[in-house]
Amino acid sequence: MIKRIGILTSGGDSPGMNAAIRAVTKVGLNSGLEVFGIYNGYKGMVEGYIEPLTRESIGEIVTRGGTILGSARLPEFKDIEVREKAIRQLRKRGIEAVVVIGGDGSYRGALELTHMGINCIGLPGTIDNDITCTDYTIGFQTALETIVDAVDKLRDTSNSHHRCSIVEVMGNRCGDLALWAGVACGADIVVTSDTGFDEQDILDRLRDLDMIKKKKHAIVIISEKITDVHQFAKKVTLNTGFSGRATVLGHIQRGGSPCPFDRMLASQMGEKAVDLLMQGIGGQCVAIRQNKIVSYPIEKALVMPSESKKPLTNLFERLS
Amino acid sequence: MIKRIGILTSGGDSPGMNAAIRAVTKVGLNSGLEVFGIYNGYKGMVEGYIEPLTRESIGEIVTRGGTILGSARLPEFKDIEVREKAIRQLRKRGIEAVVVIGGDGSYRGALELTHMGINCIGLPGTIDNDITCTDYTIGFQTALETIVDAVDKLRDTSNSHHRCSIVEVMGNRCGDLALWAGVACGADIVVTSDTGFDEQDILDRLRDLDMIKKKKHAIVIISEKITDVHQFAKKVTLNTGFSGRATVLGHIQRGGSPCPFDRMLASQMGEKAVDLLMQGIGGQCVAIRQNKIVSYPIEKALVMPSESKKPLTNLFERLS
Amino acid sequence: MIKRIGILTSGGDSPGMNAAIRAVTKVGLNSGLEVFGIYNGYKGMVEGYIEPLTRESIGEIVTRGGTILGSARLPEFKDIEVREKAIRQLRKRGIEAVVVIGGDGSYRGALELTHMGINCIGLPGTIDNDITCTDYTIGFQTALETIVDAVDKLRDTSNSHHRCSIVEVMGNRCGDLALWAGVACGADIVVTSDTGFDEQDILDRLRDLDMIKKKKHAIVIISEKITDVHQFAKKVTLNTGFSGRATVLGHIQRGGSPCPFDRMLASQMGEKAVDLLMQGIGGQCVAIRQNKIVSYPIEKALVMPSESKKPLTNLFERLS
Amino acid sequence: MIKRIGILTSGGDSPGMNAAIRAVTKVGLNSGLEVFGIYNGYKGMVEGYIEPLTRESIGEIVTRGGTILGSARLPEFKDIEVREKAIRQLRKRGIEAVVVIGGDGSYRGALELTHMGINCIGLPGTIDNDITCTDYTIGFQTALETIVDAVDKLRDTSNSHHRCSIVEVMGNRCGDLALWAGVACGADIVVTSDTGFDEQDILDRLRDLDMIKKKKHAIVIISEKITDVHQFAKKVTLNTGFSGRATVLGHIQRGGSPCPFDRMLASQMGEKAVDLLMQGIGGQCVAIRQNKIVSYPIEKALVMPSESKKPLTNLFERLS
């Protein structure tokens, strides 16, 4: 049986990472393991920035956004020499297995380490919901709440000035943040990498909302990296009866106290990760699928096709 | 094909009922139906307090708690004469089918009406998560957020005064609110109708938290109608090193703007209800199961056993 | 004694405008007046878009952002013919006096109308706190809460990634939003039109925070229209150890349910405005000064010097 | 010039105490002082539970409710021997002066210590706004936000069920929380120790609201310790058309992240306290009066009459 495990957070942070760190630590300690925090992602693993986690060090973190372990990029981790150095750091401390919380880039590192003898389990920590094997990633629902709260605020002021609010949200590869926010806020138009961006069509629909449907304001939600929303807002002002205003929500979407859903999800996934490691299993990633906590081999997870967005897109349209 | 449907909310209100009303109305109108609001639950059906719902009448309601249709109790609805009167009111207006949002008491009425020739579909609108056929009811996640927000606040002050905060939450028949809140808030003890209430044992555990584990404060979450929490708080003060303080969250748990999860769930379920009615189906209730929107015959749904709470209870204990 | 008053909102909206509308309406009705809503600012006055306000029409608006009366610009209002047309619309309906909620641009219109025989009273409705005669404008504290909430979120994620978050807030002419947010959030650097923007100096201070003070992250708050924050973020990344990220909060600052302070301020000011009009007074604007609700002649108010920001700037520096 | 100061929090905690601790520490350190945290109020002073505060120990606390220094009661502090012991603990560490954050009970201790040679400055830390010399106490506005948020939630559900929500808030000696909340929430009735509690009259008014004014729901806000609100709710159900429901907000009112107003107030007052101590002044308490930060001799402050509540009570009535 293993005795010592490590945990790290990697890639962009997401609300709920701390709840996952807490769960891994508490479940680990209560199962008789020693638990080590590896700081600043794989970088800290290579540099040996590794310290024991205790009940005290994780006290009260369940309520807080960000990650107490920090996160950093380390592209060099794809080099075997770098990974070997990391493994030496782990072995020196007797750490036999590691939980990696992050996106699918982080999963690759976890898989490589497993191949080199350190069992690793990945947890999906990203607000974008862009890990195809899981129905929800840790942080997605909280980011959505930040977006919906912001759009509810914009609606107040938009409504008072006959405006079209254009809101850019995160999630380029996966439009779930935009699409869910669209349904939840009663937006008029949602643009994602799936829907494509037909500028002329959108301007036509906005004109229709203004002149035919007599709407007092309009809300457009658009995934990042699709168009320059500030330029587009100007075109809305020029070409429709609405006054266009763009808002780029940016990094506030990554912050904030995790919502109960994310705290629960992170706790369940953290528990599962420890259980897998104690069974001697590595190279897997944890997911919630059909409302059950499950795990998949990372190789398989990385190539899973994403679920069709068709039903949600249809719902959005039927709510218009 | 049907042409006119009605919608009502019944029983205790829950956040997201308005989002469901909006979804039924919009999907209905976009499918060529006329949609009627039946006010104050079955009472309004009997009294004929029924009015058309338009795009305007549901504008912006997606963000608001409560129900614009109101709710009221009508125990007499179990009498066939009363229901016959209700059906006459519907027929007079050409309403052929009805969506009923409420708890399982409301489902019984929906089933009776279906037997009498008015197809009804039930949607689970209650914060208690006590409808066994669905993994989540509309309003559960929002109520949880209200609870978690309150407990996070109590923690601040509890921590500053070496207190034991005893928090009574809703959900007598189903302990999900208490158990989820326990995991999400990092509570020390959770008491539900499943766990039972062994007062002496809890006092012992609190003494242990104070004297052995040296905790600065403690949080106990307890489902309603299990004990008098104010009396229990006094016993905590007398028998442990903590100063006990009870808080009964009460009806604030039913209010508030629905969280995105509940807005989405309500929207999907509203869509499903309209689709079922358009297919000529009645006597069913909509549920989310294994992350899919499904429906069950109400007779079957009412006798479904609830899922085991064991995994969650275990998780809670392993996080201690 | 006057019998009929009107109320309008003008310029950019601010949270609490609805609370002021409610106060003017309720205090007016309870004082035996009839109260009329003038929609879309001076534009609606000219076009005669004017309707009676009743207890029902203002029900529940105290909790909501934006303005139910709408707002619009009308530069032509400086032409006397346009104002004469407006006055005819008022006279036609027997409206003898008007409450104008808005910024100091709106005050000028109010003054002109007073000179032409319609007593007007101005209320300071703007989030920028840029009306010099009043210590607080209606909406300032709520906007501040939105900013502080956003910065608290950015801190989570900033902290996890060794970032410097650069946050652009509203208030170009008056740096209060930036300065108050700086104190309230524990920001490292605040840039306003008062402090000036010495790019090189700020980069030096950030390097110092990173290398000498070993801070894990930094927060810079900057008033709008001072520099291109996205460009500046790039320079931070290039020239300091922090990774720079810019966030432009934009219009979300204008929205949201008003905080109690703003609801109270709006209520007190609305009451004062009605009292002044009932005393036959016009051409004044209401202010809170030394924690008392007072009024000043608009001519005088428009040229009052602003209070020195020195004490707050000193406080900010002493908190570094 | 003094070199070492201490700081403690005493009595019930309030949001913003941490912001005051931060301000005293930072301003102190930046002025060349050493700053010591005295834990658990006067108790820790007597027991010598005193530790240096550094920039690190107060990092990020500005955003958090409660007090990192803890608080506890020590009635024995009125005995001179106990205070002498406390003073020995201070002298042993070279602490020459102390900032005391708390209610007026705490001020008495501060005054006694000053008489015995340790200059003390009091800061008003209590949510009740019951310190007559200051217009606002630290925590009052945040507590108000918690109340208003809860009442806004109750309104949703109250409205849906034709209910009368009776909400008990803190502040027995001073009705400001109830009165401000009444104005801010648009409550129908407010009961404080100033207004008195005429049960029959209130029941009459509620009947009038139901039957004459046709209100869909009613909200009554009542200060603590005036009546048993649960019993009163039953009488409302029996004697009016509304269904009465009582909610006791309790200790959640003391928690939560302080609002910007309280963070600023705490910061300004902390700065003032350090400045007074550096000038060799003790036996004073800091206040905000006429929107200026000032100080008064504690003897004088303790006997100041409270401001008349008449204007606010009138405003509340005119808004009905």
The model's pLDDT over C238-250, given as tens digits with 9 standing for 90+, comes to 999 999 999 999 9
Helix/strand/coil (H, E, C) string of chain B? CCCEEEEEECCCCCCCHHHHHHHHHHHHHHCCCEEEEECCHHHHHHHCCEEECCCCCCCCHHHCCCCCCCCCCCHHHHCHHHHHHHHHHHHHCCCCEEEEEECHHHHHHHHHHHHCCCEEEEEEECCCCCCCCCCCCECHHHHHHHHHHHHHHHHHHHHHCCEEEEEEECCCCCCHHHHHHHHHHCCCEEECCCCCCCHHHHHHHHHHHHHCCCCCCEEEEEECCCCCHHHHHHHHHHHCCCEEEEEECHHHHHCCCCCHHHHHHHHHHHHHHHHHHHCCCCCEEEEEECCEEEEEEHHHHHCCCCCCCHHHHHHHHHCC
Q: Do the Cβ atoms of B195 and B316 come closer than 8 Å?
A: no
Residue C159 has what pLDDT? 87
Interface probe with D: pick from B10, B149, B156, most Cβ of D within 10 Å: B156
Q: Do the Cβ atoms of A125 and A135 come closer than 8 Å?
A: no
Position A210 pLDDT exceeds 90: yes
| Mean of the per-residue pLDDT values of chain C | 96
Residue D72 has what pLDDT? 87
Distance from CA of B288 to the nearest CA of D (A): 25
Taking every pair of Cα atoms in chain B, the longest distance, rounded to a whole number of angstroms, is: 71
Take residue D186 and report the two structure tokens written for it: 């648009």
- What is the C-alpha separation between A143 and A258, in angstroms, rounded? 9
B261 touches chain A (CB under 8 A): yes
Which is catalytic among the residues C128, C130, C194, C262? C128
Interface probe with B: pick from D9, D13, D156, D224, most Cβ of B within 10 Å: D156
pLDDT digits (tens, 9 = 90+) for B236-294: 999 999 999 999 999 999 999 999 999 999 999 999 999 999 999 999 999 999 999 99
- What is the C-alpha separation between D144 and D142, in angstroms, rounded? 5
Tell me the three state secondary structure of residue D79: coil
Average pLDDT value for residue range B88-108: 96
- Distance between start and end Cα atoms, chain D: 57
Closest CA to C102 of C83, C84, C78, C121: C121
Strands (E), chain D: 4-9, 34-38, 50-52, 97-102, 119-124, 163-169, 189-191, 218-223, 243-248, 284-289, 292-297
Q: Scanning every residue of chain A, which has its alpha carbon at the shortest distance from the alpha carbon of C244?
A: A251
- What is the C-alpha separation between C101 and C124, in angstroms, rounded? 6
Tell me the three state secondary structure of residue C132: coil
Residue C220 has what pLDDT? 98
For chain D, which chains pass the contact test of at least 3 CB pairs under 8 Å? B, C
State the Cα angle at A149 between A144 and A153, rounded to 5°.
145
Residue B73 has what pLDDT? 84
pLDDT band at C60 (very low <50, low <70, confident <90, very high): confident
**Residue A24 annotated as binding site:** yes
Average pLDDT value for residue range A252-265: 97
Q: Which residues of D touch B72 (CB under 8 A)?
A: 161-162
State the 10-residue block means of pLDDT for chain D, 320 residues long.
Answer: 96 96 98 98 97 93 95 91 97 98 95 97 97 97 98 91 96 95 97 95 96 94 97 97 96 96 98 98 98 98 93 96
A10 touches chain B (CB under 8 A): no
Of A65, A155, A158, the CB nearest to C153: A65
- Distance between start and end Cα atoms, chain A: 57
Closest CA to B136 of B264, B282, B303: B264
Q: Do the Cβ atoms of A22 and A268 come closer than 8 Å?
A: no
- What is the C-alpha separation between B112 and A135, in angstroms, rounded? 37
Closest CA to B114 of B301, B314, B297, B316: B297
Residue A72 has what pLDDT? 87
Closest CA to C22 of A265, B214, D320: D320
Q: Do the Cβ atoms of D202 and D242 come closer than 8 Å?
A: no
Q: Do the Cβ atoms of C320 and C188 come closer than 8 Å?
A: yes
Q: Which residues of D touch B17 (CB under 8 A)?
A: 160
How many contacts, defined by CB atoms under 8 Å, are there between C and D? 111
A275 touches chain B (CB under 8 A): no
Position C319 pLDDT exceeds 90: yes
**Residue A63 annotated as binding site:** no
Name the CA radius of gyration of chain C, rounded: 22
Q: Do the Cβ atoms of D125 and D33 come closer than 8 Å?
A: no
Residue A172 has what pLDDT? 86
Residue A312 has what pLDDT? 96
Which is catalytic among the residues D13, D79, D128, D156? D128
Query: How many CB atoms are located within 10 Å of the residue D94 CB?
Result: 11
Beta pairing class for C218-223 and C163-169: parallel
Average pLDDT value for residue range C76-86: 96
Average pLDDT value for residue range C105-134: 97
Q: Do the Cβ atoms of C70 and C39 come closer than 8 Å?
A: yes
- What is the C-alpha separation between C176 and C160, in angstroms, rounded? 29
Q: Which residues of B touch A181 (CB under 8 A)?
A: 260
Residue D247 has what pLDDT? 96
Which residue, chain included where needed, has tokens 């609201």? D209
D180 touches chain C (CB under 8 A): yes
User: Does the CA dihedral D264-D270-D272-D274 come out positive or negative?
Assistant: negative
Residues of D forming the annotated binding site?
12, 22-26, 73-74, 103-106, 126-128, 155, 163, 170-172, 186-188, 215-217, 224, 245, 251-254
ipTM, interface predicted TM-score of the complex: 0.96
Q: Which residues of D touch C27 (CB under 8 A)?
A: 318-319
Beta bridge partner(s), residue A294: A287
**Residue A155 annotated as binding site:** yes
Residues 61-80 of A with CB under 8 A from B: 62-63
- What is the C-alpha separation between D218 and D154, in angstroms, rounded? 10
Taking every pair of Cα atoms in chain D, the longest distance, rounded to a whole number of angstroms, is: 71
Distance from CA of B80 to the nearest CA of A (A): 36
CB pairs under 8 A, 24+ apart, for A224-231?
A224/A168, A224/A169, A224/A170, A224/A171, A224/A172, A224/A248, A225/A172, A226/A172, A226/A191, A226/A192, A226/A193, A226/A197, A227/A191, A227/A197, A227/A199, A229/A166, A229/A168
Average pLDDT value for residue range A20-47: 98
Which residue, chain included where needed, has tokens 């069974």? A279
Position B113 pLDDT exceeds 90: yes
Q: What are phi and psi of D170, to 5 degrees?
A: -75, 175
Judged by CB atoms closer than 8 Å, whether chains meet at B153 and D65 is answered as yes
Distance of CA C226 to the CA centre of its chain: 19
pLDDT band at C135 (very low <50, low <70, confident <90, very high): very high
pLDDT digits (tens, 9 = 90+) for B3-47: 999 999 999 999 999 999 999 999 999 999 999 999 999 999 999
B43 touches chain A (CB under 8 A): no
For chain B, which chains pass the contact test of at least 3 CB pairs under 8 Å? A, D
- What is the C-alpha separation between D98 and D91, in angstroms, rounded? 12
Judged by CB atoms closer than 8 Å, whether chains meet at A247 and C252 is answered as yes
Same fold: C4-139+258-304 with C140-255: yes
Distance of CA D287 to the CA centre of its chain: 13
Q: Return the domain boundaries, chain D.
A: 4-139+258-304, 140-255
B185 touches chain A (CB under 8 A): yes
pLDDT digits (tens, 9 = 90+) for A224-248: 999 999 999 999 999 999 999 999 9
Average pLDDT value for residue range A191-195: 94
State the Cα angle at D27 between D23 and D30, rounded to 5°.
145
Average pLDDT value for residue range C180-209: 96
Q: Scanning every residue of chain B, which has its alpha carbon at the shortest distance from the alpha carbon of D247?
A: B250
- What is the C-alpha separation between B30 and C200, in angstroms, rounded? 59
What is the pTM for the complete model shown?
0.96
State the Cα angle at A167 between A164 and A173, rounded to 5°.
140
Q: Scanning every residue of chain D, which has its alpha carbon at the shortest distance from the alpha carbon of C180?
A: D264
pLDDT band at A191 (very low <50, low <70, confident <90, very high): very high
pLDDT band at B60 (very low <50, low <70, confident <90, very high): confident
A315 touches chain B (CB under 8 A): yes
Q: Do the Cβ atoms of C66 and A159 come closer than 8 Å?
A: yes
D156 touches chain C (CB under 8 A): no
Tell me the three state secondary structure of residue D223: strand
Domain covering C4-139+258-304, topology:
Rossmann fold (3.40.50)
According to DSSP, residue A294 is labeled E
Q: Identify whether C128 is a catalytic site residue.
A: yes
Strands (E), chain C: 4-9, 34-38, 50-52, 97-102, 119-124, 163-169, 189-191, 218-223, 243-248, 284-289, 292-297
Residue C188 has what pLDDT? 97
Please give the CATH number for the structural domain made up of C140-255.
3.40.50.460
Average pLDDT value for residue range B207-214: 94
Residue B36 has what pLDDT? 98
pLDDT digits (tens, 9 = 90+) for C30-57: 999 999 999 999 999 999 999 999 999 9
Judged by CB atoms closer than 8 Å, whether chains meet at C154 and A252 is answered as yes
Residue B9 has what pLDDT? 97
- What is the C-alpha separation between B141 and B148, in angstroms, rounded? 10
